[in-house]
Amino acid sequence: MNVKEYIIEKVKKGTMHMTLLDPAKQSPERAAEMAAIVAGMGTDAIMVGGSTDVTSENLDATILAIKKKVSLPVIYFPSGAHALSKHADAMYFMSMLNSLNVNHVIGEQVKGAPIIKKLGVPTLSMGYIIIEPGMKVGEVGMAKLIPRNDLKTAAAFALAAEYLGMELVYLEAGSGAPEPVPSEMITAVKKSISVPLLIGGGIRDAKTAERVRLAGADIVVTGTVVENGELGEDLKKLIHAAKGIA
Ligand code: 1GP
């Protein structure tokens, strides 16, 4: 499956929803069960990743288990070069653009690139931009968090990502954030770029997912709600609201 084409074609038609599963938070079998449930609810891809505790072992096992159960693209969302998997359909080759630590901007990427080439995993380049409060990923990544009211800086970072040739831009409030990226910021960033815009962090209900979609997100990412085992009707409503389907 060519994941890049899949994403480009999907976002032309409307907003996508992606489900993030952290391989360190449950068994591979449980991750696969969760993936099958969200696939049935209409999620468009499974992202696998986490800020801490991802190992080559739990990553490979989780991706393989998911791929056995669902036919959706499985995209690795890495936190560094320490764990890589040849089993993903694609991986984000990403730079945390507002990190103060050059290792997160380009160091891990230099370490990982030759390994990724050997493994033959297709890459999707992505500018990763951390917005307040940033949560764990902001801390671990030593991000100079973009203030929630600083729309201009967020838009400038996103545009810089596009001019650097990045295929995707991800605005991240941090997993478990009390509030997602503000709607005004999503709109401002969306206006400044032409590549697909991912929004994640703090999206836990249908109303919020709809607000994020209407503000201009091309791809709405949710992790915590699924990880918490909230896999019922509310999650289905969230996924449908993210995609704008009744
Ligand atoms: C993390 O933005 C994602 O990269 C998911 O955040 O866990 O808050 O849904 P949540």
Integer angstrom CA distances of residue 209 from 112, 123, 234, 240: 33, 27, 12, 9
Q: Sign of the C-alpha dihedral, residues 44, 89, 74, 200?
A: negative
Q: Which atom of ligand 1 is nearest to the CA of 173?
A: 2
Note the residue count of the chain: 246
pLDDT band at 231 (very low <50, low <70, confident <90, very high): confident
Vertex 119, ends 110 and 92: CA angle to 5°?
Answer: 60
Summarize pLDDT for 101-110 with one digit per residue, the tens.
Answer: 999 999 999 9
Per-residue pLDDT band for 160 (boundaries 50, 70, 90) equals very high
Report whether pLDDT(1) > 90: no
For a substitution probing ligand 1, which of 26, 76, 203 has the most ligand atoms within 8 Å of its CB?
203
> Which pLDDT belongs to residue 230?
84
- Non-local (6+) Cβ contacts of 48 within 8 A are 20, 21, 22, 23, 31, 59, 62, 63, 66, 74, 75, 76, 77, 88
pLDDT reported for residue 246: 76
In the chain, what percentage of residues exceed pLDDT 70?
Answer: 100
User: Average model confidence (pLDDT) for the chain?
Assistant: 97
Ligand 1 site residues (CB inside 6 A) read 20, 172, 175-177, 200-203, 221-224
pLDDT at 215: 98
Ligand 1 centroid–CA 45 distance in Å is 14
Could you read off the pLDDT of 56-66 as tens digits, one per residue?
Answer: 999 999 999 99
pLDDT band at 243; cut points 50, 70, 90: very high
The stretch 195-217 carries a mean pLDDT of: 98
Of 202, 61, 62, nearest to 132 (Cα)?
202
Domain CATH code at residue 33: 3.20.20.390
Domain count, the chain: 1
Q: Cβ atoms within 10 A of the Cβ of 106, count?
A: 12
Dist. CA 107 → ligand 1 center (Å): 24
pLDDT given for residue 222 in this prediction: 98
pLDDT of residue 227: 87
Q: Say what the pTM is.
A: 0.97
Domain with 66, as residue range(s), is: 3-243
Name the residue with higher pLDDT: 227 or 112.
112
Please tell me the distance between residue 44's alpha carbon and the centre of ligand 1 in angstroms: 16
